Amino acid sequence: MRDLLEVTESGLYCERGDFHVDPWRRVPRAIITHAHADHARPGSDRYLCAASGKTVLRTRIGGGSPIDTLRHGESLSLNGVRVSLHPAGHLLGSAQVRIEHGGETWVVTGDYKLHDDPTCEPFEPVRCDVFVTESTFGLPVYRWREPAAIAADINAWWRANRDAGRTSVILAYALGKAQRIAAMVDPSIGPLVGHGAVMKIVEAYRASGVRLPPIDRVPPRARRVGDGRALVIAPPSVLGGSWLNVFGESSVAMASGWMTLRGVRRRRGFERGFAVSDHADFPGLLHAIDASGARRVLVTHGFSDSLARYLRETRGLDASVLPTHFTGETPPDAMGSDDDVPDDADTLEPRVADAAPAPPPDAASP
Amino acid sequence: MKRFTDLYWRLDATSSTTEKVASLRDYFAAAPPGDAACALAVLSGARQLRIVSTGQLRAWAAEVAGLPDWMVEECYAHVGDLAETLALLLPEPEPRPDAADGADGEPGLAEVVRRTIHELRGADEARKREVVTDAWRRLAPRERIVWHKLLTGGLRVGVSRTLVARALAEVAGVEPAAMAHRLMGDAVADGAAFTRLLAPEPTAADSRRPYPFFLASGLERSAVDHVAEDLGAVDAWQAEWKWDGMRAQLVRRGADATVWSRGEELVNDAFPEIAAAGAALPPGTVLDGELLAVRDGRLLGFAALSKRAGRTRITRKLLEEIPCVFVAYDLLELAGDDLRGRPLADRRRLLEDLVPTPFDAVLGGGVAPAAAIFLSPVVAGGSWDELAARRGESRGRGVEGLMLKRRSSPYGVGRTRGDWWKWKIEPLEIDAVLLYAQAGHGRRAGLHSDYTLGLWHDGRLVTIAKAYSGLADAEIVEIDRIVRATTLEKHGPVRICRPSVVLQLAFEGVAASTRHKCGVAVRFPRIVRWRRDKEPADAGTLAELKAMIDAGG
């Protein structure tokens, strides 16, 4: 019997229901787990996403194509295939896609996390037969600390910088991570300032009903901002440019799960690294997999080989690697954050080891 | 050891030398002398005994963390640092009160070293496991990393001796050069020795110490016109051969002579004939020079010399097979007077009086080396072009090029640019194909930056050398992606790649080798650049490489 979902040239496809999940090419109907650029690409005829993620998705794919929505838990029938969306806890409106047909249930997680995040709906375990999971941080060295402890570290660093008259700059992916950071920190320490790319999403979040503390924009042609007291939230792409100049003396930190590793922190030359991620850590992945009750697990996006082998050996699961467009390990330097996508939201470059066949040497240069 | 752990992470967090010195100064000023002595030994890269093997640590960590061994290896390959890998894999430590060193049973560095490194020496496996796993329960991940490194003898902190000396000089209130001199030689073994180290006045124990070595820098531009432009008039410079040996100082003070390597290790035992010859020098003499292996008027090369170095017992057979000499090129002290502030030209005159026999006389078999100390000859050249021509003889002579030293210069401390230059011969080069890649360590952890390269032979690519990348960070990241995308097979941490990347490889020489499958060994291979303009089919052949042997490589 053929699988309910298969990988085609355009991505994960359900032939029976005639829809794709997070396709990387234009398709008639795209179900989108979340609005990050490597999952939500413009140009498809029709989209379906969680109701809470519609505003954000619209800012990312632009106008034109209609976006249908489902509330979390609500279901819809596509050619007799039952489809419902369930919170993934990755960012606002991120969803796991539950697909049921002929007595078999599949869940495609997209990206997800189990740790607390005040800016989005918490991850909800969904029972299924086949669980398609990401594995960005699928090695046991990745184990997140509690968000409150990380927030305390960020606050302490910000406070120390403020007392020294130094601006604190925290680099975070513009969609999701930046808003989460803003909601995590203690705004009584000083003013929060957001980069334009961050503010665009902040507005979409607020329009969707997420409460965020006051965040200032950098006025055009400003010469000096923040008075050495501010916490600036910006995408990593500002590094190396002149955008940071208006803040005077500053301390630059990176917020990413990859900051767990000393080598990555040092190589990227950050003074501080905060290991805060919107992906599940290794215990989180195991927890979600166990909670799904699935006997078959398809692992994608990350340390797929290792996680699949671990699941086979320790749990006796039918676990294997789902060879997607994105197959290959995600090296920590391939991205500005742990979101695995280029910093510029509008680039449509597929991430990392996107290459079968691999690029010839000269085509590999950006 | 909280204090030392804090120092470790403070040093790790910054690349500014000023901040590093400040961190070190704060630590040494506050730490109890016993801990400070211990920290100094660690920072100086003193060889620590490996009390627990990394294999044992991995196995125990796998058990404690409840992970299969292969998963620990996968993680290590990704993290690139075993101490860090294990620290991250182990379960959270038991909560404990936040105590400073010395309070509430929080042991200081010296205590930790005594309890683990010293006590575990000779202990049986079960006892070692007990001590290690007990420590894991108590230490936070950031402490575990430091402790693992102490335990396995692999703590590299990334501060040079010069920085340590600067920090200690600030604490002691003496000149950095004086402190650097005090730090030479015997290790600071305990708290009392550390307290003496900080004495404001010189002490009697200073007498056998060598001087800090003055180090040369490589010329940035090596074309003769550029050298002429950068260095000015040729007669301001003294040229010598750049010997391919081991830098050393011969210190003749008190009753005997001592031979010191550049790593500041006493190597009398490895070079007894040099120490014996040194004893015949007048008291109060310090020579700077090069240890070389030479037999029947022929240089034996660095590989032969390495067989002598590092030994603590030298057999008569080895002494006969690999005789060594000391080729002096500078005189730092004469009749107890420190000459380092005098111009090189003066020092050279005095050196020639003291050591009259030039090493040239030995080479070519003209003179049997009755003595073991010779003079490094000056390479004559009335113009830069003439010197460039002499430099061209280097490969044939078995030297690495020329040294250029400003005649008016004092003997400095460390690598001070401007007065001593290495004018090395141009390396040999060939374009080779990336065949295997392995993740690096430290800053390159998790990035595939250690490459095995190959050349064409009978329509196949054969491996010829391993080289760590000399590429820019961004290029390494880019190649890492290609490696991941073109992986054909994985063997543990090594990936076999589909040939696609061509790299220009530089090396100092080629020699026939029976140990290498391809039949040749290249010396000091490193990557010069990524040939994006080339396809694997354009890479060089093994025959081309072999031809370089005949060309005097």
Give A260→chain B minimum CA distance, Å: 9
- b/e per residue, B96-123, with b = 16+ CB within 10 A? eeeeebeeeebbbbbbbbeebbeebeee
**Burial (Cβ within 10 Å: 0-12, 13-18, ≥19) of residue B541:** middle
Indicate if A190 and A153 belong to the same structural domain.
yes
- A140·B442 Cβ contact <8 A: no
Nearest to A263 among B13, B14, B442 (CB): B442
Q: Does B95 touch chain A (CB under 8 A)?
A: no
Is residue A16 a part of any domain in this protein?
yes
Could B481 and A264 be called an inter-chain contact, meaning their C-beta atoms sit closer than 8 Å? no
CB-based contact, B496 to chain A, within 8 Å: no
Are A271 and B75 a contacting pair at CB < 8 A?
A: no
A176 and A233 housed in the same domain: yes
| Structure ipTM | 0.87
A-chain residues near B449 (CB < 8 A)? none
Tell me the per-residue pLDDT of B149-170, one tens digit each, with 9 for 90 and over.
Answer: 877 766 667 777 778 888 999 9
| A165 and A266 fall within a common domain | yes
Least confident of A160-174, B13-27, B170-184, B409-423: B170-184
What contacts 24+ positions apart, CB below 8 Å, involve A357-361?
Answer: A358/B482, A358/B485, A358/B486, A358/B498, A358/B500, A359/B482, A359/B485, A359/B500, A360/B500, A360/B535, A361/B482, A361/B500, A361/B501, A361/B502, A361/B530, A361/B532, A361/B534, A361/B535
State the pLDDT at residue B369.
Answer: 58
**What is the rounded average pLDDT of the residues A59-78?**
93
List the single residue in A with minimal CA-CA distance to B9: A262
Are A284 and A170 in the same domain? Answer: no
**Predicted pLDDT at B168:** 93
A262/B12 CB distance under 8 A: yes
Residue A34: inside a domain, yes or no?
Answer: yes
Single-letter residue type at B380: A
- What part of B 391-450 touches A (C-beta under 8 Å)? 441-447
- By the 10 Å C-beta count (0-12 exposed, 13-18 middle, 19+ buried), B95 is classed as exposed
Q: Indicate if A129 and A190 belong to the same structural domain.
A: no
Cβ–Cβ contact B156 with A under 8 A: no
Residue A175 lies in a domain: yes
By Cβ distance, the residue of B478, B484, B535 closest to A353 is: B484
Interface touch B481/A353, C-beta < 8 Å: yes
Q: Residue A228: inside a domain, yes or no? A: yes
Fill in the amino acid letter for A225.
Answer: V
pLDDT higher than threshold 70 for residue B494: yes
What is the C-alpha separation between B37 and B195, in angstroms, rounded?
Answer: 9
Reported as a pLDDT band with limits 50, 70 and 90, residue A284 is very high
Q: Please name which of B188, B204, B263 lies closest in space to residue B28, comparing C-alpha atoms.
A: B188
Judged against a pLDDT cut of 50, whether residue A334 lies above it is answered with no
When mean pLDDT is compared over A61-65, A111-115, B182-186, B545-549, the highest value belongs to A111-115
Q: Does B64 contact A at CB distance below 8 Å?
A: no
CB atoms within 10 A of CB B320: 9
User: Side-chain half-sphere of B377: how many Cα atoms within 13 Å?
Assistant: 11
CB nearest to B88's CB, from A260, A303, A334: A260
A296 plus A232 within the same structural domain: no
**A208 vs B264, more confident:** A208
Q: Which of B72, B78, B90 to mutate to test the interface with A (most CBs of A within 10 A)?
A: B78
Match 């002290």 to its residue by tokens. Answer: B333
Q: What is the pLDDT of residues B446-467, one digit of tens each?
A: 788 899 999 999 999 999 999 8
- A30 in the same domain as A131: yes
Q: Which of A333, A361, A366 sits opposite B502 (nearest CB)?
A: A361
Distance, in angstroms, between B22 CA and closest chain A CA?
A: 17
Does residue A361 surpass a pLDDT of 60?
no
Q: Which of A135, A136, A139, A314 to mutate to test the interface with B (most CBs of B within 10 A)?
A: A139
User: Of the candidates A231, A246, A274, which is a domain's last residue?
Assistant: A274
Band (pLDDT 50/70/90 cuts) for residue A360 is: very low
pLDDT at A339 over 90: no
Q: Do B74 and A267 touch (CB under 8 A)?
A: no
Give the model's confidence band at A349: pLDDT under 50 very low, under 70 low, under 90 confident, else very high. Answer: very low
Chain A residues with beta carbon closer than 8 angstroms to that of B533 = 362
Verify that A120 and A175 share a domain, yes or no. Answer: no
The domain that holds A285 is classified in CATH as 3.60.15.10
* Exposed / middle / buried, residue B229 (Cβ in 10 Å: 0-12, 13-18, 19+): exposed
- Does residue A303 lie in a domain region? yes
Question: What long-range pairs does A5-12 form, CB within 8 A, spacing at least 24?
Answer: A5/A99, A5/A106, A5/A108, A5/A130, A5/A132, A7/A322, A7/A323, A7/A324, A7/A325, A11/A324, A11/A325, A12/A108, A12/A132, A12/A324
Single-letter code of the amino acid located at B6: D
Q: Which of B41-45, B81-85, B131-135, B192-196 has the lowest mean pLDDT?
A: B41-45
Average pLDDT across chain A, whole number: 86
Same domain assignment for residues A253 and A158 = yes
Å between B544 CA and nearest CA of chain A:
24
B contact residues 309-348, partner A, Cβ 8 Å cutoff = none
Q: Do B481 and A334 touch (CB under 8 A)?
A: yes
Q: Give the CATH number, domain containing residue A174.
A: 3.40.50.10890
Residue in B with minimal Cα distance to A140: B89
Least confident of A327-341, B267-281, B340-354: A327-341
Q: Residue A66, preceding bond cis, omega within 30 degrees?
A: no
Q: How far apart are CA A52 and CA A30, in angstroms?
A: 17
Same domain? For A220 and A208 the reply is yes
Q: CA of B532: which chain A residue's CA is closest?
A: A362
Whether the CA torsion B101, B107, B108, B109 is positive or negative: it is: negative
The shortest CB-CB distance from B532 to any of A143, A356, A362 is to A362
End position of a domain, from candidates A250, A274, A298: A274
- CA–CA separation, A351 and A349 (whole Å): 6
Average pLDDT, integer, range A194-211: 94
Size of interface A-B (CB pairs under 8 A): 112
Whether B268 and chain A come into contact, CB under 8 Å, resolves to no
The two structure tokens encoding residue B485: 């995308």
pTM for the model stands at: 0.71
Same domain flag for A10 and A138: yes
What single-letter DSSP state applies at residue B14? Answer: -
Residues of A with CB under 8 A from a CB of B: 139-143, 260-264, 266-267, 269, 271-272, 303, 306, 309-310, 313-314, 328-329, 331-334, 352-356, 358-362, 364-366
Helix pair A196-207, A54-61: axis angle to 10 deg: 140
Q: Is residue A363 part of a domain?
A: no
> Considering CB atoms only, which of A143, A263, A362 is closest to B444?
A263
Structural domain for A213, as ranges: 147-274
pLDDT exceeds cutoff 60 at A101: yes
> 3-class DSSP state for residue B148?
helix
CB within 8 Å: B482 and A358: yes
- Nearest-CA distance from A35 to chain B in Å? 25
Query: Do residue A269 and residue A184 come from a single domain?
Result: yes
Among A274, A304, A320, the domain-final residue is A274
Residue contact B88–A143, C-beta within 8 A: yes
> Is residue B553 pLDDT above 60, yes or no?
no
> What's the structural domain count of chain A?
2
Side chain identity at residue B40, one-letter code: L
Question: For residue A362, is pLDDT > 90?
Answer: no
Q: Classify residue A332: in a domain, yes or no.
A: yes
- A262, A306, A340, A362, best to mutate vs chain B, most B CBs in 10 Å: A262
* Residues of chain A positioned with their CB less than 8 A from the CB of B67: 140
Interface check for B10 against chain A (CB to CB < 8 A): the answer is no
Predicted local distance difference test score (pLDDT) of residue A359: 31
pLDDT in tens, A107-142: 999 999 999 999 999 999 999 999 999 999 999 999
Residue that wins the pLDDT comparison between B212 and A77: A77
Q: Do B535 and A360 touch (CB under 8 A)?
A: yes
pLDDT at B490: 80
Q: What is the mean pLDDT of residues B182-205?
A: 76
> How high is the pLDDT of residue B48?
61
Instruction: Test B71 with A140 for CB contact under 8 angstroms.
Output: yes
B145 interaction partners in chain A (CB closer than 8 Å): 262
Position A358 in a domain: no
Q: Is B151 at the interface with chain A, CB within 8 A?
A: no
Q: Cα–chain-centroid distance for residue A162?
A: 30
Q: Work out the percent of chain B whose per-residue pLDDT is above 90.
A: 39
Per-residue pLDDT, averaged over B216-237, amounts to: 90
pLDDT band at B255 (very low <50, low <70, confident <90, very high): confident
> Are the C-beta atoms of residues B35 and B181 closer than 8 Å to each other?
no
- Length of chain B, please? 553
